[in-house]
Amino acid sequence: MKTAKIALIVSVLNVIFTNTASTQIKENNSISGASRISPDSLYKDYIERGLHCFEQNQLDKAKYLFYNAKELMPEKTDSYINLAAIAMKRKNFETAIMILGKAGKLPDETRQDAIFYNLGLCLQKLSKYPEAIDYYNKAISVNPVLGEALLNCGLLYSNDNKTELALIYILKARVIFKEQDRKDIVRSCDEMLLPIIKKHAKDTKLAERLLREGSLSFQDKRNEEAIALLKISILLGPDNQESYYRLGVVYTASKNFDEALSCFNKTTELNPKNVSAFINMGAIFGELKRYNQALYALHKALNLEKNNPRIYYNIAMVHISNANKKKAASYLKKAKALAAKKEDLRLLRRIDEAYKTL
């Protein structure tokens, strides 16, 4: 790999994960009445004071405190992670790998993401890139919103000319850093993403890959990540109706109804027979109390699927909201007949509940 690209990785993100304690740090280096302090409190005190020394670059003192913590409670991972962080700061990466390896074998699994991430960073510093990628991915599997691991992994994929993976990882990292308001890193992500997107303009296979990734992100309730992935999917594959539809679904879940309607409109332009898009438009218009538009969209869906009981039910609910009980009853009757035929018990219960409101 080119030296310039390696330098870029280091300059963009070079974060060592340590234990993050935020309670007040004691000024003194001794603990009065130590015999009266519980082992947990004493351990926590060692970690907190060690972190304070670490932040002040007093590495020998920090090492002493972290070592005391490790001796006190050798089953906890925090002391190992912090001792490894000192070794990393001193560029003793092999030593750090050995310490982190021991931490990874402990029963305490609360900091697995930090252990894997720091192992990835050590291996990256030692130019062992495939191994680094493997550990970054392990960290991401434990903590899917670990932006540092996503970005470093994406950069390594980019340097290995795996631009599809690079695009996905850097894009996901960008979303996380934006949510954290880390504007400088967001700008760096944008600078990395732009040439990759240009290189893959109208790459339909990559567009499909991003569509799948966006759908998975939505299933995991990471809506902003899903939106970002689906937007790039549309950019690369502007004629794919499914990308617009999926993006509309995510916007609907995020209560961004204007954007959702725009996406569903585009879906029906590309495929006038997309029943689900019309149904979703009807639901949104109903939510917005724009009843005429809701009925128009739902009747479009009904023209395409005349035996769909859910469409009849949705139309009935619009009429109920609009205080038109006679029409509501007519559509509920049709919905119930079709739902009974299809043995749709859940819908039948909803229809019965709707009848009670008439």
Count of C-beta atoms within a 10 Å radius of residue 42: 17
Per residue in 241-297, pLDDT (tens digit) is 999 999 999 999 999 999 999 999 999 999 999 999 999 999 999 999 999 999 999
Q: What sign results for the dihedral spanned by CA atoms 121, 122, 128, 130?
A: negative
Per residue in 162-186, pLDDT (tens digit) is 988 999 999 999 999 999 999 999 9
Q: How far is CA 356 from CA 250, 320, 350, in A?
A: 32, 11, 10
Q: What is the dihedral of CA 233, 239, 241, 245, to 10 degrees?
A: 40
Separation between Cα atoms, residue 77 and residue 70, nearest integer Å: 8
Q: Using an 8 Å Cβ cutoff, are 347 and 309 in contact?
A: yes
Total residue length of the chain: 358
This prediction's pTM: 0.81
Q: Identify the band that residue 312 occupies on the pLDDT scale cut at 50, 70 and 90.
A: very high
Q: Which domains does the chain have, with CATH numbers?
A: 275-358 (1.25.40.10)
Per residue in 179-213, pLDDT (tens digit) is 999 999 999 999 999 999 998 988 999 999 999 99
Q: What is the dihedral of CA 259, 265, 271, 277, to 10 degrees?
A: 70
Q: Which amino acid is at 88?
A: M
